[in-house]
Amino acid sequence: MGQIDREAMEGFGIPGMVLMENAGLQVVNLLQELLPPGERGAVVVVCGKGNNGGDGFVIARHLSRLGYRVKVLAVDRPETYKGDAAQNYRILLDSGTGVMLTEDRGLRGLGERLDEGDVIVDALLGTGTRRRVSEQYQTIIDDINRSRARVVAVDIPSGISADTGEVMGTAVRADYTVTFALPKRGLLLFPGAEHAGRVAVADIGIPEELLTSTAIRENLVDAEYVAERLPPRKPDGHKGTYGRVLIVAGSPGMTGAAALTGEAALRGGAGLVYAGTTEELRPVLEAKLKEVISLGFPGDKKGDFKEGAAREVLEKARTCQAVAFGPGLNPSAPTLELLKELLRSLDIPLVVDAGSLAALALEPGALRHKKAPVVLTPHPGEMARLLGTTVSAVQEERWELAARQAAEWGTVVLLKGAHTVIAAPGGEVYVSPSGNPALSTAGTGDLLTGLVAALAAQGLSPLQAAACGAFLHGLSADLLVRERGARGWKAGDVLDFIPAALNSLAAPPQRREEFLRSSLRWIREFEAWRW
């Protein structure tokens, strides 16, 4: 973002004062939503020494003009500020708005002053934080966090690393964050994401060609991205139009995984879905299914497939457009051998999950011999087993690790978690911000596998199917929680909301177009529509 700002100013001749003015106005737009003009209200704007503080001075000036009761707290005197921030400090003073210094009386009484506001604007540090915050800033941040007022962060909560999401000693816990031009990594990586609250991306006038440059390899999956790629539902379509999915899954006690995957594939739009398990488990699986067609392949009576099962599985797979392999399977040598045969023989998308990932950990090199386009869908524990490392090591570098392994394995890697990361072999990384703890229960990963396979069967590329599937999976959980509350849900409840997620993106184009024209774009768009 620093480079993009410089190119906007130097290459396109857009003055920094214009960008700062636009940034401040966008935060004012949000504040007017939180404190409608008819009610006005009191706002405390806390301004640091850099450009983030300059944004704060712009915000304070416009709020005063609009009739809000504004109190400005600055960390230092006007002469210590530089550039555009200094100029906006002087403009604010010339407009008649008073500024108090946070250093007055050694910061004593700062908490009381903050409590006088209905909303606190955090314009302290911005995206430039590279080291532990100073004692002075730590005191201010702690007082902000103790306040009863709602907090709006400017660009990023103060104390959060924009690159890593790390808390640099202490950090503001915002209710809302208005970030400028593009999302920042630190708003999507934890713990920074937890500190950011609801995040909106604001247009501040940076040229579109800078924001869509091919040099930017990291992408946010949002409602617009998914809506543009959803397969059309044709008036003359039939079940053959929307693709066939073969699911190979289940073992003793785990046939529910196969059933959930199949149900999700149907909900995701596939025309025909086959769920195959060992022959001896087929009656158990069939008892769980209605619309999904059950199949039985040769088994060893102990939960694994026999050696001859590969021929029958491949024969069925050749009538389909996508295969999902792994939910509920034993992480055994027979599972690995069947996976290796599918990798070598298939030329349709293959989604590899759960038991088959654990089996693949026995021989990760098997991916070198694949013919099929593959999507791997590990959670952090499965990724750790594949790499022979720890879960904490995976979580520490989720984006980098997913990108590195996608390139090494030549597969799409969908690394589950908050937030889900999807990486392509060519270096592109996509991050899906949807989802909530309702997904932290057994079986929800099986739903994701079914969704990805269904979208691939309908013609999306493996990367598109993974990115769209991850977003829809999370959105289904978000809609469930919005409608019914946050607790007590199981995977089947999330499954029931997949149609609502699809229809929220596809059904109301006028409403979506109206939202997309807005200069404030919420990362969690479905909440913005409700607004």
382: exposed, middle or buried (C-beta count within 10 Å: 0-12, 13-18, 19+)?
Answer: buried
CB-based contacts of 123: which residues, under 8 Å, 6+ apart?
Answer: 45, 46, 47, 48, 52, 53, 55, 56, 59, 154
For residues 124 and 141, the answer to whether their CB atoms sit within 8 Å is yes
Claim to verify: residue 190 and residue 240 sit in the same structural domain: no
Q: What is the pLDDT of residue 195?
A: 96
Claim to verify: residue 260 and residue 169 sit in the same structural domain: no
3-55 pLDDT per residue, tens: 999 999 999 999 999 999 999 999 999 999 999 877 788 999 999 999 999 99
Question: Which tokens hold the place of 455?
Answer: 């979208």
Q: Which residues pair with 296 in a beta bridge?
A: 277
**527 found inside a domain:** no
**218 found inside a domain:** no
341: exposed, middle or buried (C-beta count within 10 Å: 0-12, 13-18, 19+)?
Answer: middle
Claim to verify: residue 72 and residue 29 sit in the same structural domain: yes
Q: What is the pLDDT of residue 297?
A: 97
Q: Can you give the CATH number for the domain in which 119 is found?
A: 3.40.50.10260
**178 found inside a domain:** yes
Question: Which tokens hold the place of 99?
Answer: 């500024």
Closest C-alpha to 157, from 118, 117, 198, 116 = 198
Whole-angstrom CA distances from 92 to 16, 51, 120, 319 are 17, 15, 18, 70
Q: Rounded distance, CA 1 to CA 127, Å?
A: 9
**247 found inside a domain:** yes
Q: Can you give the CATH number for the domain in which 366 is found?
A: 3.40.1190.20
Closest C-alpha to 62, from 97, 12, 36, 86 = 97
Q: What is the pLDDT of residue 526?
A: 46
Q: What is the pTM assigned to this prediction? A: 0.92
**13 found inside a domain:** yes
Claim to verify: residue 435 and residue 378 sit in the same structural domain: yes
Q: What is the pLDDT of residue 438?
A: 96
**For the chain, which ranges sit under pLDDT 70?**
103-109, 507-519, 524-531
Q: What SS3 class is residue 39? A: coil
Claim to verify: residue 303 and residue 395 sit in the same structural domain: yes
Q: Rounded distance, CA 473 to CA 200, Å?
A: 21
Claim to verify: residue 195 and residue 243 sit in the same structural domain: no
Question: Which tokens hold the place of 305?
Answer: 């497939």
318-342 pLDDT per residue, tens: 999 999 999 999 999 999 999 999 9
Claim to verify: residue 199 and residue 229 sit in the same structural domain: no
CB-based contacts of 39: which residues, under 8 Å, 6+ apart?
Answer: none
Q: Rounded distance, CA 162 to CA 152, Å?
A: 16
Give me the domain span that covers residue 186. 2-213
**360 found inside a domain:** yes
Question: Which tokens hold the place of 165?
Answer: 């999401």
Total domains present in the chain: 2
Can you give the C-alpha Rg of the chain in angstroms? 26
Q: What is the pLDDT of residue 508?
A: 54
CB-based contacts of 318: which residues, under 8 Å, 6+ apart?
Answer: none
**345 found inside a domain:** yes
Under DSSP, the state recorded for 256 is H
Q: What is the largest CA-CA distance in the chain?
A: 84
Claim to verify: residue 167 and residue 310 sit in the same structural domain: no
Whole-angstrom CA distances from 36 to 70, 114, 211 are 15, 20, 32
Element (H, E) at 18: helix 16-34
436: exposed, middle or buried (C-beta count within 10 Å: 0-12, 13-18, 19+)?
Answer: middle
